[in-house]
Amino acid sequence: MRTPIIAGNWKMNNTIAATKALVTELIPLVKDAKAEVVICTPYTDLATAVELTKGTNIKVGAENVHWAEKGAFTGEISADMLVELGVTYVIIGHSERRQYFGETDQTVNARVKAALAKGLKPIICVGETLEEREGGKVEEVLVRQTTEAFKDIAKEDLENIVVAYEPVWAIGTGKTATAEVANDTIKIIRDTIGKLYCPKCAEEKVRIQYGGSMNPKNVKELMAMPEIDGGLIGGASLKAPDFSLVVNY
In the complex, what is the shortest distance from the CB of residue 85 to ligand PGA, in angstroms, rounded to a whole number?
21
CA atoms of 219 and 129, how far apart (whole Å): 22
Residue number with the shortest CB distance to ligand PGA? 234
Among residues 72 and 100, whose Cβ is nearest to ligand PGA?
100
Yes or no: say if 165 and 191 are a contact pair by the CB < 8 Å rule. Answer: no
- Residues between 55 and 114 with contacts to ligand PGA, criterion CB under 6 A: none
Among residues 78 and 94, whose Cβ is nearest to ligand PGA?
94
CA atoms of 1 and 108, how far apart (whole Å): 28
Amino acid letter, 237: S
Q: Is 40 in the site for ligand PGA (CB under 6 A)?
A: no
The question of whether 36 is a catalytic residue gets the answer: no
CA atoms of 63 and 164, how far apart (whole Å): 13
- Helix 43-53 crosses helix 16-30 at what angle (to 10 degrees)? 40
Q: Is 212 in the site for ligand PGA (CB under 6 A)?
A: yes
- Among 36, 63, 94, 96, the active-site one is 94
Among residues 233 and 245, whose Cβ is nearest to ligand PGA?
233
Half-sphere exposure (Cβ direction) of 29: Cα atoms closer than 13 Å: 17
Among 213, 219, 223, 227, binds ligand PGA (CB under 6 A): 213
Query: Considering only CA atoms, which of 195, 182, 184 is closest in space to residue 223?
Result: 182
Within 8 A by CB and 6+ apart from 241, the residues are: 29
CA atoms of 210 and 40, how far apart (whole Å): 16
Q: Which one of 48-56, 145-153, 185-193, 205-213 is the stretch in contact with ligand PGA (CB under 6 A)? A: 205-213
- Residues between 159 and 198 with contacts to ligand PGA, criterion CB under 6 A: 166, 171-172
Yes or no: say if 213 and 166 are a contact pair by the CB < 8 Å rule. Answer: no
Among residues 120 and 164, whose Cβ is nearest to ligand PGA?
164
Q: Is 126 in the site for ligand PGA (CB under 6 A)?
A: no
Q: Which one of 12-20, 63-71, 82-90, 206-214 is the stretch in contact with ligand PGA (CB under 6 A)? A: 206-214
Q: Which one of 132-140, 149-157, 202-210, 227-235 is the stretch in contact with ligand PGA (CB under 6 A)? A: 227-235
CA atoms of 131 and 223, how far apart (whole Å): 26
Task: For residue 150, give the H/E element and its range.
Answer: none
The question of whether 94 is a catalytic residue gets the answer: yes
Q: Which residues bind ligand PGA (CB under 6 A)?
A: 9, 166, 171-172, 211-214, 232-236
Catalytically active residues, by annotation: 94, 166
